[in-house]
Homo-oligomer: A and B are copies of this chain.
Amino acid sequence: MFNKRTKIKALLATEPAGQEVTVMGWVRTFRNNQFIALNDGSTNQNLQVVAALGLLDDETLKRITTGTSLKVVGELVVSQGKGQKSEVKAVSIEVLGDCDSEQYPLQLKNRPSLEYLREIAHLRFRTNTFGAVFRIRHSLAFAIHKFFNDKGFIYLHTPVITASDAEGAGEMFRVTTLPFDNPPRNDDGSINFKEDFFGKSTNLTVSGQLEGELAAMAFSDIYTFGPTFRAENSNTTRHLAEFWMIEPEMAFYDIEDNMNLAEEFIKYLIGYVMSNNREDLVFLAQRLADEEKQLPQDKRSEFGLIEKLIFVQSNAFERITYTEAIDILLNSSHYKKKKFQYEVKWGIDLQSEHERYLVEKHFKKPVIVTGYPAAIKAFYMRMNDDGKTVAAMDILAPGIGEIVGGSQREERYNNLVERMEAMHVPVEEMQWYLDTRRFGSVPHAGFGLGFERMVQFVTGMTNIRDVIPFARTPKNCEF
């Protein structure tokens, strides 16, 4: 057994009484050949390790630099210095792994930019910013599972490889084992996908919703939490080719139940992180405030990060219809001054600039928009009685835009088939999906939450590539 250690987070919560402890971690700084700031990733707080003069020989002293890994045995005592309650008075210090300071990119002197850290994503976990971001990402993931588990939802792993492309949510990646050089062909020259691994043409999923509906028709309440993919050539701060999505699906729910659950869910997640990651949030709030100091006054957020989270958590989300949203936009001075780049009229798909206006300028809080025109929404959404809008809902969040998209599903067999035909969805191939409407159909609803957007929202990171461990974007697939 390797020597038992105490994690620094636990140690810092312990009363110092001279007890012997063993700690291991990586050196963040080493001052005066005496004071080591040691970090093991359990918290951004470093443990101060004091090496009395004479404890270490010159050779060892030279090896202790930023990034070096150490095993320290010592006594946990009340700290003599400022800035920490306790420290470890070292009895022995062993270098586990050296770190060549000439080569190591993470030197405190030259504070690396987020852009640079993206290039060394394998090392950025060792910085305070990414330590905080990924501990919060973890907490959010756990809170998601806990929220649904506590409510009796079943976690469903929907398939990543799929032969269905009916969701129509975007461009897809092909999955194949056929050789490019000489693929098998049919007599007419087309590619013979019967020879492919799955005996047909297959892709990476864009959504687990349709499969989720199948299970909701048995378990009532299910959720997915898995990777989804878009082969879209969008090099923006808001898009990834590979991202994680949460998709709950609930039988016996209408659109209002759906909105209630989504709002409760988002508030729960925020509350969970505020209770469990206070220290990391404080760090990221300061980071964001520093970042915004570089911006012109009118581009800065109105709220600090933590104030924003408290505000969102403690206020009801605004609920408006699409029609009302269009009216608000048309009546805005922003519109009258021709400040919108895209056209505003009933029937358009709301653009990012419209969503941000509604959320950030008009309501100044999250907004749930319902009742979108049927023509711009997916085939499975339930037609409203007006015959032209559907029971869709999007949740728009300050600084992020769309964070949740959902709907009540069309549970009426005939209406669904009619919509599928009108939208050229292959009815024949989708019999498995239609079976849910043939055998004990029920009103049901669900939504999708983009996990990385939620992490962005909570951490205040402005680029989505900074909230996923290893980003996949056009022309970028490192590590």
Contact = CB atoms under 8 A, between A and B. Distances in A.
Interface of A: 1-3, 5, 7, 9, 24-27, 40-42, 67-69, 71, 96-100, 103-104, 122-123, 125-126, 130-131, 134-135, 137-138, 141-142, 145, 149, 152, 154-164, 171, 173-178, 180-181, 183, 191, 197-200, 202, 204, 211, 214-215, 217-220, 226-227, 229, 231, 233, 241-242, 244, 251-254, 256-257, 260, 411, 432-433, 435-443, 468-470, 472, 474-479
A220 B42 CA distance: 7
Nearest to A231: B177
5 contacts: A2-B254, A122-B435, A161-B241, A161-B472, A197-B233
A231 B197 contact: yes
Given A42-B152, A126-B218, A440-B99, A477 B161 contact: yes
Contacts of A479: 159, 164, 211, 214, 432
A180 B180 contact: yes
Given A2-B256, A41-B219, A123-B214, 14 more contacts: A2-B253, A67-B439, A69-B442, A97-B439, A100-B438, A100-B439, A125-B219, A126-B218, A157-B227, A157-B468, A158-B469, A159-B469, A199-B474, A215-B469
A219 B156 contact: no
A466 to B, nearest CB: 14
A214 B477 contact: no
Contacts of A200: 477
Contacts of A226: 226-227
Pairs of residues from A and B, 8 with the lowest C-beta to C-beta distance, nearest first: A125-B218, A97-B441, A41-B219, A198-B477, A199-B475, A69-B440, A2-B254, A122-B214
A99 B477 CA distance: 48
Contacts of A123: 214, 218, 435, 439
Contacts of A177: 171, 173-174, 231
A158 B104 contact: no
Contacts of A157: 137, 141, 227, 244, 468-469
Contacts of A67: 439-440
Given A41-B219, A97-B440, A227-B226, A472 B135 contact: no
Given A103-B438, A174-B177, A475-B199, A242 B7 contact: no
A197 B215 contact: no
B175 A181 contact: no
A288 B468 CA distance: 42
A191 B199 contact: no
Contact of A198 (B3, B197, B438, B474): B474
Contacts of A199: 474-477
A138 B219 CA distance: 11
Nearest to A477: B198
A99 B161 CA distance: 31
Contacts of A69: 440-442
Given A219-B125, A442-B24, A443-B96, A154 B138 contact: yes
Contacts of A1: 254, 256-257, 260
Given A173-B197, A440-B69, A257 B2 contact: yes
Q: Most B CB atoms within 10 A — which of A2, A137, A226, A439?
A: A439
Contact of A411 (B97, B145, B244, B470): B97
Nearest to A69: B440
B134 A156 contact: yes
Contact of A125 (B137, B142, B217): B217
A96 to B, nearest CB: 5
A134 B219 CA distance: 9
A164 B242 CA distance: 16
Given A173-B177, A198-B476, A231-B177, A149 B142 contact: yes
Contact of A154 (B135, B217, B241): B135
Given A159-B470, A177-B173, A96 B441 contact: yes
Nearest to A219: B41
Contacts of A130: 218
A5 B181 CA distance: 58
Given A164-B479, A175-B173, A472-B159, A152 B443 contact: no
A415 B254 CA distance: 61
Contacts of A227: 157, 160, 226-227
A260 B432 CA distance: 45
A41 B256 CA distance: 23
Contacts of A155: 137-138, 141-142
